């Protein structure tokens, strides 16, 4: 399968995140991209550099002021103090509920909080270029679909599905799946479906399309009552206005068996087939793997081949974008199992 990959993806290399008050190494590490790259090459897949500029599509997905903040964030951080080059910015204040989010403060940390849903999405020198290359890959993939390619894989990091119109979160900065869906619509697809199989609910993608009937969002994920992102992803979120009925959440209890997960996948696939979409975008999180260090589902390596086969049987032009998956050494095998399972079904 044609795959987009950029060296930029390795340059997003924040130092740490926080767990129970302690600094721990980032789960979302540069090594993830290398393992996926190595496995793709080893198994004979073609890697290409993204060749499209996503700026126009990004402006339809994210707000102008969020994009401006993200692009300039590292330079703004350095401008505060040259010594900041070796430090990681960290938000300390957030505009919850009764506070104002419409006025952008001048203070850097206040802006960081304004544009963050959590304190676990560290920005570093390479963040913008890595995220932008991911969005460029998403648009490049849709161009290949438009030219007749059946399926394309974006082997990108950082992930994207937690990022909303004006916020980062959950290791995500630019919403690559939403960028792909939006680009497909612009290229003439009348209906698009986004299937999110990451362990965590794709709150960013859901929120971006929640009031739209043209982009169906379907997600299976750990129940947000106990699992990140906690504040979205419940079964009663079915869409709003014109989008009513075009959002399907299938939350599963933490610790669910693979058989339970595949039953939910069948429900998701049935809904997608019924939508009659012209194209499918898959938010391919692999943190459903039994060996994942931050998640509780139980899929094994060969289950990822089954996942690919099930998606291949939908028979739809498909863009895969890499999301989570933190058992880095197994990430490449699991990802390539999905895309080869997909190819075998087609």
Q: Considering the complex, what minimum distance in angstroms separates the CB of residue 192 from Zn ion?
A: 22
Binding part of the chain for Zn ion, among 143-151, 216-224, 260-268, 320-328 by CB under 5 A, reads 320-328
Helix (H) or strand (E) holding 178: helix 176-186
Residue 321 engages ligand SP5 in binding (rule: CB under 6 A): no
d(CA 40, CA 67): 31
8-state DSSP, 132: H
Q: Considering the complex, what minimum distance in angstroms separates the CB of residue 223 from Zn ion?
A: 14
Q: Among this protein's residues, is 9 annotated catalytic?
A: no
- Which residues, 6 or more positions from 90, have their beta carbon under 8 angstroms from its beta carbon? 109, 112, 119, 122
- 215-222: strand order across its sheet: 47-48, 2-4, 151-154, 318-322, 279-284, 192-196, 215-222, 247-252
Q: Please identify, using beta-carbon distances, which residue of 32 and 310 lies nearer to ligand SP5.
A: 32
8-state DSSP, 287: T
Candidates 9, 200, 275, 306; binder of ligand SP5 (CB under 6 A) is 200
Q: Please identify, using beta-carbon distances, which residue of 202 and 243 lies nearer to Zn ion.
A: 202
Binding part of the chain for ligand SP5, among 34-42, 46-54, 105-113, 164-172 by CB under 6 A, reads 164-172
- Which residues within the stretch 101-140 sit at the binding site for ligand SP5 (CB under 6 A)? 120
d(CA 190, CA 29): 37
- Which residues within the stretch 183-222 sit at the binding site for Zn ion (CB under 5 A)? 198-200
Q: Considering the complex, what minimum distance in angstroms separates the CB of residue 127 from ligand SP5?
A: 15
Give the CA angle between residues 11, 127, 295 to the nearest 5°: 90
- Which residues within the stretch 280-299 sit at the binding site for Zn ion (CB under 5 A)? 285, 287
Candidates 287, 292, 309, 330; binder of ligand SP5 (CB under 6 A) is 287
Q: Considering the complex, what minimum distance in angstroms separates the CB of residue 18 from ligand SP5?
A: 9
- Which residues, 6 or more positions from 164, have their beta carbon under 8 angstroms from its beta carbon? 117, 175, 203, 204, 207, 208
* Positions marked catalytic: 162
């Amino acid at each position: 399968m044609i795959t987009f990959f950029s060296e930029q993806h390795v340059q997003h290399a924040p130092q740490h995140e926080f767990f129970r008050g302690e600094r721990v190494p980032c789960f979302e590490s540069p090594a993830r991209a290398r393992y996926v790259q190595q496995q793709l090459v080893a198994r004979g897949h073609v890697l290409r550099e993204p060749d499209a500029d996503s700026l126009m599509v990004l402006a339809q997905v994210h707000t102008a002021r969020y994009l401006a903040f993200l692009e300039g964030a590292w330079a703004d951080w350095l401008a505060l103090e040259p010594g900041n080059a070796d430090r990681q910015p960290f938000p300390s204040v957030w505009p919850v509920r009764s506070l104002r989010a419409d006025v952008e403060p001048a203070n850097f940390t206040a802006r960081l909080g304004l544009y963050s849903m959590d304190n676990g999405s560290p920005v570093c020198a390479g963040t913008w270029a890595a995220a932008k290359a991911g969005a460029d890959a998403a648009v490049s993939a849709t161009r290949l679909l438009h030219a007749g390619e059946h399926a394309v894989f974006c082997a990108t990091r950082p992930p994207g599905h937690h990022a909303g119109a004006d916020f980062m979160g959950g290791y995500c900065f630019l919403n690559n799946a939403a960028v792909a869906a939006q680009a497909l619509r612009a290229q003439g697809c009348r209906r698009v479906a986004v299937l999110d199989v990451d362990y965590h609910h794709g709150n960013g993608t859901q929120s971006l399309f929640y009031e739209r009937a043209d982009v169906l969002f379907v997600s299976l994920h750990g129940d947000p009552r106990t699992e990140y992102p906690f504040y979205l992803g419940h079964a009663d979120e079915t869409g709003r206005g014109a989008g009513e009925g075009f959002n399907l959440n299938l939350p599963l209890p933490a610790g669910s068996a693979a058989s339970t997960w595949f039953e939910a996948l069948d429900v998701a696939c049935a809904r997608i087939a019924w939508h009659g979409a012209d194209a499918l975008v898959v938010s391919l999180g692999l943190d459903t793997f039994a060996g994942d260090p931050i998640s509780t589902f139980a899929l094994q390596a060969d289950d990822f081949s089954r996942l690919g086969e099930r998606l291949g049987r939908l028979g739809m032009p498909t863009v895969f974008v890499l999301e989570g998956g933190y058992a880095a050494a197994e990430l490449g095998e699991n990802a390539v199992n999905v895309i080869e399972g997909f190819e075998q079904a087609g």
